[in-house]
């Protein structure tokens, strides 16, 4: 192998690695006391001091990296119920940022597709209802109503999900509510 080629390659590697070595070394390396802070994270724009003198943040920049904080969601759920035919469900009323909606979690191991109707009832006779197709299988699923503006207190809302066989008779297999008593609670 040509020694000259090896020497040139080694020189290029050294030249290319110097900036990275300085970034990893941080403020004790070149640039100490210049207000830039050094360090690999700041050189990549990932530290809190990135781009601002003295470590200050530019206006409008979040203090924490990552996605924006989501508003809190409160829920009131009934008990987890099951039917002998292989259906499990739990129904909840959810509230967040001035909106209320219903959600029913289910698992259908009955071996056949089912129909579900989820109804949310609120104050002053307000009602929202949605139909959901419940596929057969062991995977958990959910049925959810659209969100609506909250009116009154959260405890003024309730939700009921009814799971039935999709035939002419529509035989009801399970009814699950957000305020249903648990098994043995009367």
- Determine the Cα–Cα distance for residues 150 and 153; give it in Å rounded to an integer: 8
Match 């949310």 to its residue by tokens: 120
pLDDT at 134: 95
Measured CA to CA in angstroms, residue 144 lies from 38, 71, 90, 110, 174 at distances of: 50, 19, 12, 21, 17
Distance of CA 178 to the CA centre of its chain: 21
- Determine the Cα–Cα distance for residues 129 and 124; give it in Å rounded to an integer: 16
- Contact between 104 and 75 under an 8 Å Cβ cutoff? The reply is no
Q: Across the chain, where does the E strand assignment appear? A: 74-77, 81-83, 87-96, 99-108, 114-121, 127-134, 137-144, 148-149, 158-164, 172-177
Q: For 74, list phi and psi in degrees, rounded to 5.
A: -95, 145
- Contact between 149 and 99 under an 8 Å Cβ cutoff? The reply is yes
Q: How many CA atoms does the CB half-sphere of 4 hold within 13 Å?
A: 0
Dihedral class, residue 77 (left if φ above 0, else alpha if ψ from -120 to 50, else beta): beta
pLDDT at 161: 98
> pLDDT tens track of the chain, all 186 residues?
566 666 676 665 566 655 555 544 444 444 444 444 444 444 444 444 444 444 444 455 555 677 878 889 999 999 999 999 999 999 999 999 999 999 999 999 999 999 999 999 999 899 999 999 999 888 999 999 999 999 999 899 999 999 999 887 778 999 999 985 555 554
pLDDT at 179: 83
């Amino acid at each position: 192998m040509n020694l000259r080629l090896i020497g040139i390659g080694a020189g290029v590697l050294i030249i290319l690695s110097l900036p990275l070595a300085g970034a990893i070394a941080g403020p004790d390396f070149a640039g100490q006391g210049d207000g830039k802070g050094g360090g690999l994270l700041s050189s990549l724009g990932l530290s809190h001091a990135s781009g601002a003198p003295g470590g200050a943040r530019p206006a409008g920049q979040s203090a924490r990296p990552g996605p924006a904080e989501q508003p809190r969601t409160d829920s009131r759920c009934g008990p987890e119920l099951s039917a002998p035919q292989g259906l499990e469900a739990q129904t909840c009323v959810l509230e967040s940022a001035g909106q209320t909606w219903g959600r029913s979690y289910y698992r259908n191991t009955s071996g056949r597709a089912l129909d579900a109707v989820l109804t949310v009832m609120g104050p002053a006779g307000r009602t929202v209802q949605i139909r959901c197709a419940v596929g057969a299988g062991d995977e958990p699923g959910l049925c959810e109503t659209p969100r609506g503006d909250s009116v009154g207190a959260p405890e003024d809302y309730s939700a009921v999900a009814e799971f039935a066989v999709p035939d002419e008779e529509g035989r009801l297999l399970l009814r699950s509510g957000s305020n249903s008593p648990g098994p043995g609670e009367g």
